[in-house]
Amino acid sequence: MLTVDGLYPIRTATALTGVNPVTLRAWERRYGLIRPQRTPKGHRLYTEADIARIKRILELLEQGIPISRTREVLDREAGLNAPAGATAAPSGETPWTQYRDQLRQGITALDALSLDRAYNEALSLYPLELVGRELLLPLLDDYRAGAAAGGERQLQAHFLEAYLRHRLGARFHHQLARARGPRVLSACLPGEICEIPTLFFALCAVEHGYRVVYTGRPLPLEVVTGAARREDLAATLLYGDCRADRGSLQAVLSRLPDTPAHRLFLSGPGAAEAAVAPIQALPADISRALQTLDRALLTPTD
């Protein structure tokens, strides 16, 4: 929504860029990356140039440039007198290395407050999807792989899972109250144990505006079939590792009802190869997956 002066309030800037208000304010206060105008009551208003700048910052972050160095690049691109700097992240200097080390220390000590410091800072400065892709989900995969050996590694893996379940779940429920988009069901594939990746995708979808019904558990085929016939759900999002026993999975998926009013989507490793009609695979990249949902659920049909 534009103001009469052609300016965007912060909620609209968030909708246009995908960067939440907390992060926009942190970029402004800590790094001076954006300088929005203010209403007489102090509310932030963003210009078209601000929106373009935010999108450019996101591109730089995707290239691995730390948020603390993006202003150098932006100033140089604008022809200002900025020190020469690399246009890619120097080896070993990405912020994720530091955050990963901090999280590992907290996990080793079984110290949730220590995890909070790194978790909160990362999510205040970087978009949720980027934090998940570069930090949280790879770290979880690493600890899960080590848990098979039992002992201390298993304890650490369970501690990390419980921490992420609590923190991501709390953020999910907080954001859900603000969502106004289509109502969708999110669940694991039958027989899969994928609670945290499913919860993370559900959280990203909620922050994108979808009203997500999150189960956190694998759903039997008959439950998914029943959900597909509900008029109050626009889609079902199934997550799981689709690489193993693909033939059996495809046999299950092909039995799902083809209901035009209810779309079925599959995500997770190997989804593109495993998806069969009537289910549609979502891209592995969450941003692209949400764009796919938008095209399917928000684009008007003739």
Compute CA distances 79 → 33, 72, 76, 84, whole Å.
Answer: 16, 11, 5, 11
Domains (ranges, CATH) in the chain? 8-77 (1.10.1660.10), 95-173 (1.10.1240), 178-297 (3.40.50.280)
Q: Which amino acid is at 128?
A: L
- Which of 227-231, 244-248, 256-260 is the most confident on average? 227-231
Helix (H) or strand (E) holding 185: strand 183-188
Residue 193: its pLDDT value, please?
Answer: 73
What are 9-22's pLDDT values in tens digits? 999 999 899 899 99
Confidence of residue 188 (pLDDT cuts 50, 70, 90): confident
In contact, 208 and 178? CB cutoff 8 Å: no
- For residue 4, pLDDT beyond 60: no
Please compute the mean of the pLDDT values over residues 46-68 and round it to a whole number: 94
Instruction: Report pTM.
Output: 0.87
Q: In sequence order, which residues have a C-beta less than 8 Å from that of residue 37 and are 6 or more positions away? A: 7, 44, 45, 46, 47
Structure tokens at 237: 């999002």
- For residue 86, pLDDT beyond 70: no
What are 87-121's pLDDT values in tens digits? 555 555 678 999 999 999 999 999 999 999 999 99
**Cα–Cα distance, 182 to 93 (Å, whole number):** 40
Angle at 238 between CA 236 and CA 243, to 5 degrees: 155
Q: Which amino acid is at 35?
A: R
Compute CA distances 17 → 8, 72, 115, whole Å.
Answer: 12, 21, 28
- For residue 191, pLDDT beyond 80: no
Residue 155: its pLDDT value, please?
Answer: 96
Residue 244: its pLDDT value, please?
Answer: 60
Confidence of residue 157 (pLDDT cuts 50, 70, 90): very high
Confidence of residue 38 (pLDDT cuts 50, 70, 90): very high
